[in-house]
Amino acid sequence: MHRPFAAAAAYFCIVVSLAFVLGVIRTLIVAPRTGDVVAVLIETPIVLFISWLAAGWTARRFSVPARAPARLTMGLTAFALLMVAETSLSLLMFDRPLARQAAAFATPAGAIGLLGQVVFGLMPLLAARRR
């Protein structure tokens, strides 16, 4: 049962590393030209495509069964890691209180981002269904 957790950590690291780079580009280059919503709409499909590839690769690499419980464990663990990382970053680096962090999800760009994060969490299961 440890395979889904190890795969989740690897999946999280791969996707978050690449998403961080894309997030910097979105924030510094794209959003000032297009606005936050359009910038997130451009970034989200790219991150989800990366998630699709990474979910499949890590599941194969760590021999995570294609059964729903194992893939959901992998995805939900990665999602939990993402939420902890995002909240920690918000609190520690940007001094943003939890209430303000939660309120950001109520904006159009924040809601799109949150939906993308939920799909990221489901991607290991979705990738298993595709095969």
- 4-25 tens-digit pLDDT: 999 999 999 999 999 999 999 9
Entry pTM:
0.92
8 Å CB contact between 116 and 63: no
* 65 phi, psi to nearest 5 deg: -60, 150
Gap between the Cα atoms of 93 and 49, Å rounded: 28
C-alpha 94, offset from chain centre: 20
Token reading at 50: 């990366």
pLDDT in tens, 54-87: 999 999 999 999 999 999 999 999 999 999 999 9
